[in-house]
């Protein structure tokens, strides 16, 4: 939309690139074809963007291209196809829609240039299905050709949970490719920790269905504690404030440490609950309140603060568990 592009042109020059300290616009190219422009321009804009990305890639740069949105581009394809009286396919889109989408995404990748340097193009394509219907053709064909999908959740956005990425609908098939890199930067704990927290989130979905039927009071503390840990994980880890000086950027090491603290809280807390400690006692610990705020209070170069927090948390839970055990 024209008014959105006006906001971008006003705000982007004021944003500072954390890598260079200069304006973000120095490394940004905008290709704008708004809805009031000719349909042929909207259809050609996505090819213009990817061609320019390849131009800089061939010079040895690493380029990120954001296409917002491929759904509008597909609508322009449908309109052009209708004017040329081509045979329509599903929902009026041309029969060659899957081919065009595949050709676009297949132009991404890492390569060696003729000069011996390395360059790459990373494509992030935004899909905006009408009414949030993920079964429509553009979304379905896009998911066929890409190996990573971030599904935005309207309910998360309405509850001010940003980024509003659904942890259940989103997926990545690059886990095997990035596993070694992440483990090298996390003492080999990242992959296992990720599996544990994903298992907890899956359990939470099943428990939430029970809660809707019979209420939370029907669940034992061991299961209510899973709901508590998952809620804390969403608040203390998945949420991120782009306007906060500390939280707008999070290093790999800090992410791994934060996840480690949350999992330690779950394991120690579950152990204490099985000894008879009420969940309310664990929830009220001062260290737990500090854990909720750690993404906002701990800077990226203060990782020892998170280590000390984990030690205090484990010691506090052990003390409560010892009292009830005796």
Domains of the chain with bracketed CATH? 2-175 (3.40.50.300), 183-325 (1.10.1140.10)
As a whole number of angstroms, the distance between CA 151 and CA 154 comes to 10
Tell me the three-class secondary structure of 223-246, residue by residue. Answer: HHHHHHHHHHHHHHHHCCCCCCCC
Is the pTM for the entire model greater than 0.85? no
As a whole number of angstroms, the distance between CA 128 and CA 130 comes to 6
Reported as a single tens digit per residue, the pLDDT across 82-114 is: 989 888 888 889 999 999 999 999 999 999 988
* Sequence-distant (≥ 6) Cβ neighbours of residue 218 within 8 angstroms: 210, 211
Reported as a single tens digit per residue, the pLDDT across 121-155 is: 999 999 998 888 888 999 999 999 998 999 988 88
Average pLDDT of 231-258?
Answer: 90
């Amino acid at each position: 939309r024209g008014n959105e592009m006006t906001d971008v042109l006003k705000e982007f020059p004021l944003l500072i690139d954390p890598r260079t300290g200069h304006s973000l616009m120095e490394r940004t190219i905008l290709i704008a074809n708004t809805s009031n422009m000719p349909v042929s321009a909207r259809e050609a804009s996505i090819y213009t963007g990817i061609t320019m990305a390849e131009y800089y890639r061939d010079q040895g740069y690493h380029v990120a291209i954001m296409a917002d949105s491929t759904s509008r581009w597909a609508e322009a394809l449908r309109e052009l196809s209708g004017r040329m009286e081509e045979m329509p396919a599903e929902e009026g889109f041309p029969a060659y829609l899957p081919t065009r989408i595949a050709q676009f995404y297949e132009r991404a990748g890492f390569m060696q240039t003729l000069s011996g340097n390395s360059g790459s193009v990373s494509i992030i394509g935004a899909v905006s299905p009408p009414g949030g219907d993920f079964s429509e053709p553009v979304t379905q064909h896009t998911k066929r050709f890409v190996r990573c999908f971030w599904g935005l959740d309207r309910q998360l956005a309405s509850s001010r949970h940003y980024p509003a990425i659904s942890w259940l609908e989103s997926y990545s098939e690059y886990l095997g490719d990035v596993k070694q890199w992440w483990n090298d930067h996390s003492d080999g704990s990242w992959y296992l920790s990720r599996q544990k927290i994903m298992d907890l989130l899956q359990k939470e979905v099943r428990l939430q269905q029970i809660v809707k039927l019979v209420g939370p009071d029907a669940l034992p503390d061991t299961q209510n504690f899973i709901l508590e840990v998952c809620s804390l994980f969403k608040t203390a880890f998945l949420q991120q404030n782009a306007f906060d000086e500390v939280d707008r950027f999070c290093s790999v090491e800090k992410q791994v440490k934060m996840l480690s603290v949350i999992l330690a809280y779950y394991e120690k807390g579950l152990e204490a609950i099985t000894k008879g400690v009420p969940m309310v006692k664990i929830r009220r610990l001062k260290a737990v309140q500090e854990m909720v705020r750690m993404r906002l209070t701990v800077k990226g170069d203060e990782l020892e603060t998170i280590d000390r927090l984990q030690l205090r948390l484990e010691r506090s839970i052990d003390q409560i568990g010892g009292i009830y055990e005796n």
